[in-house]
Chains A and B, each alone.
Chain A
Amino acid sequence: MITLYHYLTVSLLLFGIGLYGILTRRNAIGILMSIELVLNSVNLNLVAFSRFITPQVLSGQVFALFVIAVAAGEAVIGLAIVLSIYRCRNTLDPEDINLMKW
């Protein structure tokens, strides 16, 4: 029987992988993808809690749908920024994107 803890464990793993990717990737696209992982782990959490704790109310699932929508918007904007940075800087390493730094 798959319990809430199984979902939470998968979600935790997914969050850890995403966090690790955010902290270690040298590629902005990689970071964006890792952020997607983190968001999806959150979605999984939301849906799991909704299903197991309050099955009669669908607020968790609805919240997850919102997150997906926001994540889609975030990916679009993020990728657009990354693309335009790449065009003028010819790099995607966030450490090299330091024009604002003194």
Chain B
Amino acid sequence: MLSSAWLIPIVPLGTFVINIFFGKRLKGASAYISILAIGFGFFYSLGILFRVFGGERLDASLLWVPLAGEMRLGVGLLIDELAAVMLLVVTSVSLMVQIYSVGYMHGDIRYSRFYAYLSLFSAAMLGLVLANSYALLFVCWELVGLTSYLLIGFWFEKKEAANAGQKAFITTKLGDIGMFIGILVLLANVGSLGFKEVFHFAEAGEMSVGLITVASLLLFCGAVGKSAQFPLHVWLPDAMEGPTPVSALIHAATMVAAGVYLVARSFPLFALSPAALEVVATIGIITAFLAASIALVQNDIKRILAYSTISQLGFMMTALGVGGYTAGIFHLFTHAFFKALLFLGAGSMIHAAHINDIRQMGGLFKKMPITGWTFLLACLSIAGVPPLAGFWSKDEIFLEALRTGHTVILVVGLLTACMTAFYMFRLFFITFTGIYRGDHPIHESPWVMTLPLALLGFMAVFAGLPGSPLMGNGFHHFVHFEECGVEPSGMVMALSILAGLVGIFLAWLLYYRQAWDPRKLIKAAPGAYRFLLNKWYFDEVYQAGVVRPVLGLSRVLDWIDLRGVDGGVNGVAWVAVLISKIKRLFDIYIVDGLVNLSGAFFMALGKVGRKFQTGLVQNYALVLLFGVVILVLAKLFLGG
């Protein structure tokens, strides 16, 4: 069963091929084909999970590209606990999103293409998860980036969407360059890119710590780009221009988690370099705090969720950085469900209200009860209210931070958790309570959309239990790096709950009870508000610091190209034209001239000759006469 796991990515790849070539003819059926393929993947993944649970593992590879000397590039499958968990996350969320899209994308002119892209994405993401070497992982990594670009810009008639696609692609590529260099560093030193070989090599102490640090940090660059970590986080909020199911699948649950997965997969490397881990933790917590603070004041529902995603991804990175391998994966696992649920819920609301601005919504709870209840569950989950999923995984992270003595990270993390609860419930209260402020009639979404919501809602509640102390930290014993028994700490748990509740309470006070007018708060600190509203001015700084200089440079290069290179080429052409002009003159006046001259000579000769050939017999006769006369005279006078 494990050895045929390659079927999981290949089947969606097949549906991609079918949909991209025959989608127009299949029309609505294209969705069912894709759903069937990913459904197959989901049940297969479940089977694999049980097999892995039972102790089976697989690491098989085929030789792909033999390189010079001892180097080998292999392509193959690696199925271990991490891969099994990721498979389940990817296939289940993908399945939910694809079912949901039947309703959400209904009537779109590129319906079948949407499903083709989704299938390609699923195939690439599953390939990424199953890869047993950095080579295959990188290939899938880039494929995933490509589909992300295609899906963000899916409605490319909108200029914002097209721009957002490009921004996402270019920004993540920045990180990918670092990652690629990191892979090359590993290849040059190890001679192989298989995970097993690389980690054995590193653990055997054959690489210096400095080299490991460099390689890890370069790999981390890729993760920073893909997982939208500070300072490359700017693409993710813009990526919300894509269709909402895409945001749920790619930009919340799976693709952005690929960066976290990469770090987790490379954890044996990172673990050997304390410096690299510190960097990961620092970047992670900065990202978490920064994104949460921005999310406090945003008004676009999807952007709030986007910043929330960035923030939670920061938490995962922080967990990995402080050495909490299990905690990071666990948070990835739970986050995938409740964040997908949040996005799909938001999609349901947008589908009903036809607007993204939360200020135009309100009072939706009564009209959309299923969306409302599931959304509430997801909010509670992300806010860290026990016993929902988000609570357990976030608690793990704080525990790890405390255990490894990262007090600053713990404090900032708690603060961020408080902000998380606040912005989520701000969103919830503004949209679901009060009175409806929009003008589009509201109705609950069709069952194809609410069913995934309900299923994900179930997961958002219960996904945390396997990792909770209630079930003996089962997740821990399943997915772990070295042995790490984490003792549950009552104090951390209390603090975590407190942070969440304070956030919820503040949001309730401001936006439900309306004890204070939020506008007064804004007036009290207008600078801070503007600072947050403008997202810490990251886009502006990048615009001025990166985009403008690059544009300026390219303009200079353009000028050089135009004047210098093209000028040179044109100069050569000009000289060539000049030479040929001279040659033309030579040809006309010298060569042709000689030919014409000979012609003209004989013409002139002929002209003279013609005078004798008048054709007039009488002239001839006259000449004859003169001739005779001369002859006679000559005879007479000269004698003879």
**B is bound to A:** yes
A interface residues (Cβ-Cβ under 8 A, vs B): 19, 22-24, 31, 94-95, 98, 100-102
Q: Are A94 and B622 in contact, CB atoms less than 8 angstroms apart? A: no
Q: Are B616 and A95 in contact, CB atoms less than 8 angstroms apart? A: yes
Identify 9 residue pairs between A and B in the complex whose beta-carbon atoms are under 8 Å apart, listed by A's number: A19-B625, A22-B618, A22-B621, A23-B618, A23-B622, A31-B618, A94-B616, A101-B614, A101-B615
A95 and B614 CA atoms in complex are apart in Å by 9
A19 and B614 CA atoms in complex are apart in Å by 20
Task: Please pick, from A23, A95, A101, A102, the residue contacting B621 in the complex, using a CB distance under 8 A.
Answer: A23
Name B607-640 residues within 8 Å CB distance of A: 610, 614-618, 621-622, 625
Q: Are A94 and B618 in contact, CB atoms less than 8 angstroms apart? A: yes
**Which residue of chain A has its CB nearest to the CB of B628?**
A19
How many chain B residues touch A (CB < 8 A): the figure is: 9
A95 and B619 CA atoms in complex are apart in Å by 10
A23 and B620 CA atoms in complex are apart in Å by 9
Q: Are B625 and A23 in contact, CB atoms less than 8 angstroms apart? A: yes
B323 to chain A, nearest CB (A): 112
* Residues of chain B contacted by A102 (CB below 8 angstroms): 610
B617 to chain A, nearest CB (A): 6
A102 and B616 CA atoms in complex are apart in Å by 13
Chain A interface main SS type:
loop
Chain B interface main SS type:
helix
Name B173-228 residues within 8 Å CB distance of A: none
**Which residue of chain B has its CB nearest to the CB of A26?**
B618
**Closest 9 pairs between A and B when the two form their complex, measured CB to CB:** A101-B615, A23-B622, A98-B615, A23-B618, A22-B621, A23-B621, A95-B616, A94-B617, A94-B618
B623 to chain A, nearest CB (A): 10
Supplied contacts A23-B618, A101-B614, A101-B615, 13 more A-B pairs, CB within 8 Å: A19-B625, A22-B618, A22-B621, A23-B621, A23-B625, A31-B618, A94-B616, A94-B617, A94-B618, A95-B616, A98-B615, A100-B615, A102-B610
* Residues of chain A contacted by B610 (CB below 8 angstroms): 102
* Residues of chain A contacted by B622 (CB below 8 angstroms): 23
A88 and B615 CA atoms in complex are apart in Å by 19
**Which residue of chain B has its CB nearest to the CB of A24?**
B618
A100 and B614 CA atoms in complex are apart in Å by 11
A94 and B616 CA atoms in complex are apart in Å by 7
A39 to chain B, nearest CB (A): 14
A74 to chain B, nearest CB (A): 14
B610 to chain A, nearest CB (A): 8
Proximity bits, B510-552, A CB within 8 Å = 1, else 0: 0000000000000000000000000000000000000000000
A31 and B616 CA atoms in complex are apart in Å by 13
**Which residue of chain B has its CB nearest to the CB of A99?**
B615
**Which residue of chain B has its CB nearest to the CB of A19?**
B625
B536 to chain A, nearest CB (A): 99
A19 and B621 CA atoms in complex are apart in Å by 9
A94 and B621 CA atoms in complex are apart in Å by 13
* Residues of chain A contacted by B615 (CB below 8 angstroms): 98, 100-101
* Residues of chain B contacted by A100 (CB below 8 angstroms): 615
* Residues of chain B contacted by A95 (CB below 8 angstroms): 616
A43 to chain B, nearest CB (A): 20
A93 and B622 CA atoms in complex are apart in Å by 17
B621 to chain A, nearest CB (A): 6
Name B577-623 residues within 8 Å CB distance of A: 610, 614-618, 621-622
* Residues of chain B contacted by A22 (CB below 8 angstroms): 618, 621
* Residues of chain A contacted by B621 (CB below 8 angstroms): 22-23
* Residues of chain A contacted by B625 (CB below 8 angstroms): 19, 23
B228 to chain A, nearest CB (A): 94
B606 to chain A, nearest CB (A): 9
A95 and B620 CA atoms in complex are apart in Å by 12
A23 and B621 CA atoms in complex are apart in Å by 7
* Residues of chain B contacted by A94 (CB below 8 angstroms): 616-618
* Residues of chain B contacted by A98 (CB below 8 angstroms): 615
* Residues of chain B contacted by A24 (CB below 8 angstroms): 618
B614 to chain A, nearest CB (A): 8
**Which residue of chain A has its CB nearest to the CB of B614?**
A101
**Which residue of chain A has its CB nearest to the CB of B618?**
A23
B618 to chain A, nearest CB (A): 6
A101 and B615 CA atoms in complex are apart in Å by 7
B135 to chain A, nearest CB (A): 88
**Which residue of chain A has its CB nearest to the CB of B613?**
A101
A24 and B618 CA atoms in complex are apart in Å by 8
A31 and B622 CA atoms in complex are apart in Å by 13
Proximity bits, B19-60, A CB within 8 Å = 1, else 0: 000000000000000000000000000000000000000000
**Which residue of chain A has its CB nearest to the CB of B606?**
A102
B607 to chain A, nearest CB (A): 11
A19 and B617 CA atoms in complex are apart in Å by 13
* Residues of chain B contacted by A31 (CB below 8 angstroms): 618
B616 to chain A, nearest CB (A): 6
Name B146-175 residues within 8 Å CB distance of A: none
A61 to chain B, nearest CB (A): 26
**Which residue of chain A has its CB nearest to the CB of B617?**
A94
B622 to chain A, nearest CB (A): 5
* Residues of chain B contacted by A19 (CB below 8 angstroms): 625
**Which residue of chain A has its CB nearest to the CB of B616?**
A95
A15 to chain B, nearest CB (A): 11
